[in-house]
Amino acid sequence: MSLNLPYPWLEKPWAELLREGDRLPHALLFTGEAGIGKRALAHYLAQYLLCEDRTKASQACGICDACRWFVAGNHPDFRLLQPSDLDESSEEAESGKKAKKKSAVIGVDDVRELTDFVNLSAHRGGVRVTIVAPAEAMNTSAANAFLKTLEEPPAGAVFILISDHWRRLLPTIRSRCRVFPLTIPDAKVAMKWLSEQSVVNPVLHLAHTGGAPLAAADDANAEWLPVRSALLEKLAEPATMNVLMLAAELEKAKLDSSLFVDWLQKWVYDVISLGLTGVIRYYPDWQDALQRVAPRGHLLLNLMTELNEAQKLAHHPLNQRLMLEGLLFAYLDALRGQDRRG
Ligand SMILES: [Zn+2]
């Protein structure tokens, strides 16, 4: 028995990783769009490195003690460093410690705990593997603390960093990792997989996510679909948009700010693209709505920059409603030909 890859499109990157063999660097950085399986590949690699019965050279066995511990989430030589609001393990509650405060960042305390782990000798005598996901969630002091560990890696320590936005990482961290880019999977492979997951109209959902299949599967079933539709409908009718009301409604949905910015970015991209080249990339099912704004699409070019900036800040605890108001007013101003920074 052995452990198959979680997603078919990971075959090629997996083969590339295997080709490294013993020369696999101690720090890897998986980059690429959200929703293409970077995290799954990192876990697959971690289990492979920790497996103690690799009878098949290219896969973890799936049944040895190490594999079973890994799957159960309690391998002593494995750590997952992630923002604490994503940490759903109940270990802390059980051990009577206070639950960590909700946070979208990886703080310096988390990294210090990690450093202690990394500097211990491996319980099982093999490697100690750490996944950092997403690496850009480390705040500045955490990143600097982490950098020290990367600079003087203890023997046997392996770090796998995952990043949707690698440009936001400290250049010094980037330069200490082997960057391993994962690309958008082949559309045919992605569509076949989505169909197997019973996703209706996989082409459409792949378009919504720019070709990222895991994100497309979410897109097909997300609870927030009506929220996005409501936003896109309003964006198509700038003349009657009530920004304050819309921002307040969106805030009520209690969604991550980055999601709103992502929808705005894709909408604006499509408006510009449809206006300039007649091509729709993300929202082909909104063609009529996009068409209403597309003649003024060229006015939105500067707004793209503003949205990119907003996306960088979207993980920080800003006032969401103010942020939305700002972006929606900027959208209306731009369509009226008024660049506020103008
Ligand atoms: Zn195993």
If you measure from the C-alpha of residue 1 to the centroid of ligand 1, how many angstroms do you get, rounded to a whole number? Answer: 10
Q: Is 307 in contact with 264 (CB distance < 8 Å)?
A: yes
Q: Is 290 in contact with 280 (CB distance < 8 Å)?
A: yes
In this prediction, residue 98 carries a pLDDT of: 40
Task: Please tell me the number of Cα atoms within 13 Å of 61 on its side-chain side.
Answer: 13
> What pLDDT digit, counting tens, does each position of 16-30 carry?
999 987 788 999 999
Final residue before a domain boundary, out of 181, 212, 247:
181
If you measure from the C-alpha of residue 230 to the centroid of ligand 1, how many angstroms do you get, rounded to a whole number? Answer: 48
Burial 83-122 (b: 16+ CB within 10 A, else e): bbeebeeeeeeeeeeeeeeebbbbbbebbeebeebbeeeb
Who surrounds ion ligand 1 at CB < 5 A? 51, 53, 60-61, 64, 67
Give yes or no: residues 270 and 328 share one domain.
yes
Give yes or no: residues 239 and 299 share one domain.
yes
If you measure from the C-alpha of residue 46 to the centroid of ligand 1, how many angstroms do you get, rounded to a whole number? Answer: 11
Give yes or no: residues 226 and 177 share one domain.
no
Whole domain around residue 237: which residue ranges?
222-335
What percent of the chain has a predicted confidence (pLDDT) above 90? 77
pLDDT band for 79, please (50, 70, 90 cuts): very high
In this prediction, residue 301 carries a pLDDT of: 94
If you measure from the C-alpha of residue 65 to the centroid of ligand 1, how many angstroms do you get, rounded to a whole number? Answer: 7
Q: What is the mean pLDDT of residues 311-318?
A: 76
Tokens of 16: 């590339």
Task: Report the relative pairing of strands 178-181 and 27-31 from DSSP bridges.
Answer: parallel
Judge whether residue 38 has pLDDT over 50. Answer: yes
> What pLDDT digit, counting tens, does each position of 1-11 carry?
568 899 999 99
If you measure from the C-alpha of residue 75 to the centroid of ligand 1, how many angstroms do you get, rounded to a whole number? Answer: 12
Judge whether residue 97 has pLDDT over 50. Answer: no
Give yes or no: residues 147 and 263 share one domain.
no
Q: Is 162 in contact with 195 (CB distance < 8 Å)?
A: no
If you measure from the C-alpha of residue 129 to the centroid of ligand 1, how many angstroms do you get, rounded to a whole number? Answer: 15
When the pLDDT of each residue in the chain is averaged and rounded to a whole number, the result is 90
Judge whether residue 340 has pLDDT over 70. Answer: no
Give yes or no: residues 162 and 283 share one domain.
no
If you measure from the C-alpha of residue 151 to the centroid of ligand 1, how many angstroms do you get, rounded to a whole number? Answer: 30
Domain-embedded: residue 86 = yes
What are the angstrom distances between the C-alpha of 67 and each of 7, 84, 132, 268, 342? 19, 25, 20, 46, 59
> What pLDDT digit, counting tens, does each position of 56-69 carry?
778 999 999 999 99
If you measure from the C-alpha of residue 77 to the centroid of ligand 1, how many angstroms do you get, rounded to a whole number? Answer: 14
CATH number of the domain that residue 49 is part of: 3.40.50.300
Return the SS3 of 225. Answer: helix
Q: What is the mean pLDDT of residues 219-235?
A: 96
Tokens of 333: 């101003």
Judge whether residue 182 has pLDDT over 70. Answer: yes
Q: Which helix (H) or strand (E) holds 275?
A: helix 257-277
In this prediction, residue 4 carries a pLDDT of: 87
Q: Is 30 in contact with 163 (CB distance < 8 Å)?
A: yes
In this prediction, residue 338 carries a pLDDT of: 75
If you measure from the C-alpha of residue 50 to the centroid of ligand 1, how many angstroms do you get, rounded to a whole number? Answer: 7
The CA distance from 329 to 323, in Å, is 10
If you measure from the C-alpha of residue 6 to the centroid of ligand 1, how many angstroms do you get, rounded to a whole number? Answer: 16
In this prediction, residue 317 carries a pLDDT of: 62
pTM of the model: 0.85
Judge whether residue 86 has pLDDT over 60. Answer: no
The CA distance from 11 to 317, in Å, is 38
Give the residue among 213, 197, 309 at the shortest CA–CA distance from 264: 309
pLDDT band for 85, please (50, 70, 90 cuts): low
Final residue before a domain boundary, out of 128, 157, 181:
181
pLDDT band for 93, please (50, 70, 90 cuts): very low
Q: What is the mean pLDDT of residues 212-235?
A: 96
> What pLDDT digit, counting tens, does each position of 298-307 carry?
999 999 999 9
**What's the domain count of the chain?**
2
The CA distance from 269 to 296, in Å, is 12
Give yes or no: residues 311 and 169 share one domain.
no
If you measure from the C-alpha of residue 178 to the centroid of ligand 1, how many angstroms do you get, rounded to a whole number? Answer: 26
In this prediction, residue 78 carries a pLDDT of: 96
If you measure from the C-alpha of residue 71 to the centroid of ligand 1, how many angstroms do you get, rounded to a whole number? Answer: 10
Please tell me the least confidently modeled range out of 30-39, 47-56, 157-166: 47-56
In this prediction, residue 291 carries a pLDDT of: 97
Domain-embedded: residue 202 = no
Domain-embedded: residue 1 = no
Task: Report the relative pairing of strands 128-132 and 78-81 from DSSP bridges.
Answer: parallel
pLDDT band for 119, please (50, 70, 90 cuts): confident
If you measure from the C-alpha of residue 66 to the centroid of ligand 1, how many angstroms do you get, rounded to a whole number? Answer: 6
The dihedrals phi and psi of 157, each to the nearest 5 degrees, come to -85, 135
